[in-house]
Amino acid sequence: MNDLIPHNRPMVTDEDRSAVDTVLRTGRIASGEEVEELERDFDTIYGGGASCAVSSGTAALLVALRSLQLGSDPVVAVPTYSCSALLNAIFFAGGTPLVVDVSRNDLNMDLESLEGAIARHGRSPDVVVAVHSFGAPADVQALSSVGAPVIEDCCQSLGGAIGAEPIGGFGAASVFSFYATKIVTGGHGGLVRDRDGVVAEAARDFRQFDLRTDYAPRFNVHMTDFQAAMVRSQLRRLDWIAERRRSIASRYLATLPTHVLVEAGIEEPGRMVYRFVVQLANQQRRDEVRSRLSEAGIQTIVPIERFELLHRYLGLEPAAFPVAEAMTDLTLSLPLYPGLSDAEVDHVVAALETVRW
């Protein structure tokens, strides 16, 4: 095999293409019935509640923050080991981030790190954004013990479950992204939902800026019907996507020596393996593994680089975020997505067997 195996590659099937084409042929290509059907699909997955589809995961988080009626300048707890989209949503919602370190175990915000951040800053959050990083479920129940509502960021965990419960049904609201690299995609897109429908209703009001009899600042965060059709088409194979991802992960796991750490619970039955992230002993070893795989034609990424850590963007003291700082030196993400062919998986496994870990 001479072709490079990219770290990620969206999978678009004939069914996806035909679902999009069907919408394009109707001549009604803005937001309409397909978007409503997508919202209903999510209500079915979660066994009730209400959903509002929007233009991106960032927009979903922004409208969730606005819709929770947190008062002016809310303090929003976020994990530092995450993407800058979180900060963007917080600032545009008029909030202030309370940046929290993560646990080495699952790379998620944990109660101890959150309590540490609260103690350091002397302020309690008005809301906590719990990111289920790389598919690993954050402990939403534990995090809510600080007394603030929790928004579950499910952008990397759609299709995952804890026992029989889909991830994202516990918090005050949950948000999803359909960006090109996510679990299911429409190119771009997002969705916000909640159990009692208060957040989804406020989100709908925010989105519907046109032809209103009253004026309030609202915003065009619509999703198009052809994006929704593509997302819906992919949702129909969500179980297969989850299974394919788990089976590739178990092939990789079988080759790894025990001193190489992966996220806790990665082998649990309902787990959505969004990224396969390994933790090496030190930075030199990580870089060696990376070049060895690159020589074998396998592209890997450092899932989050040091400069991307949210506390770095905000110019906060790095010493307060030791785990996230260390993770940027020790981690590597291997290609893992349903569009990998069996031959490509075999090739990666063969290369992993030659690596000096």
Smallest gap from Cβ 3 to ligand PLP, in A, equals 27
Q: Does 328 bind ligand PLP (CB under 6 A)?
A: no
**E strand spans, 146-189:** 150-153, 161-162, 165-166, 173-177
Residue nearest to ligand PLP (CB): 57
Nearer to ligand PLP, 80 or 156 (CB): 156
Residues 22, 189: Cα–Cα separation, whole Å: 19
Q: Does 138 bind ligand PLP (CB under 6 A)?
A: no
Nearer to ligand PLP, 181 or 255 (CB): 181
Rounded to a whole number of angstroms, the CA Rg of the chain reads 20
Q: Does 313 bind ligand PLP (CB under 6 A)?
A: no
Q: Does 67 bind ligand PLP (CB under 6 A)?
A: no
Q: Does 185 bind ligand PLP (CB under 6 A)?
A: no
Q: Does 166 bind ligand PLP (CB under 6 A)?
A: no
Per-residue b or e along 294-317, where b marks 16 or more CB atoms closer than 10 Å to that residue's CB: eebebebbbbbeeebbbbbeeeee
Q: Does 137 bind ligand PLP (CB under 6 A)?
A: no
Name 51's Cβ contacts closer than 8 Å, sequence gap at least 6. 38, 39, 40, 42, 43, 191, 192, 193, 200
DSSP conformation class of 96: E
69: left (phi over 0), alpha (psi -120 to 50) or beta: left
Nearer to ligand PLP, 57 or 338 (CB): 57
Q: Does 156 bind ligand PLP (CB under 6 A)?
A: yes
Residues 280, 269: Cα–Cα separation, whole Å: 25
Which residue is it, tokens 């009253």? Answer: 214
Q: Which two tokens mark 98?
A: 């309370």
Nearer to ligand PLP, 313 or 357 (CB): 313
- For residue 277, the cross-strand partners are 333
Of 68-76, 149-157, 302-310, 347-355: span binding ligand PLP (CB under 6 A) = 149-157
Smallest gap from Cβ 80 to ligand PLP, in A, equals 13
**E strand spans, 195-338:** 261-262, 276-279, 331-334
Smallest gap from Cβ 190 to ligand PLP, in A, equals 5
CA angle 201, 207, 211 (to 5 degrees): 105
Q: Which of 31, 51, 56, 224 binds ligand PLP (CB under 6 A)?
A: 56
Q: Does 103 bind ligand PLP (CB under 6 A)?
A: no
Other Cβ atoms closer than 10 A to 71: 8
Q: Which of 51, 58, 300, 331 binds ligand PLP (CB under 6 A)?
A: 58
Give how many residues touch ligand PLP by CB under 6 A: 13
Nearer to ligand PLP, 178 or 355 (CB): 178
Q: Does 155 bind ligand PLP (CB under 6 A)?
A: yes
Q: Which of 16, 126, 153, 344 binds ligand PLP (CB under 6 A)?
A: 153
Smallest gap from Cβ 350 to ligand PLP, in A, equals 30
Q: Does 92 bind ligand PLP (CB under 6 A)?
A: no
Q: Does 229 bind ligand PLP (CB under 6 A)?
A: no
Residues 120, 340: Cα–Cα separation, whole Å: 45
Question: At what angle are helices 342-354 and 283-295 packed, to 10 degrees?
Answer: 130
Q: Which two tokens mark 239?
A: 């179980």
Smallest gap from Cβ 247 to ligand PLP, in A, equals 23
Q: Which of 68, 131, 183, 293 binds ligand PLP (CB under 6 A)?
A: 131
Residues lying near ligand PLP in the complex (CB under 6 A):
56-58, 82-83, 85, 131, 153, 155-156, 177, 179, 190
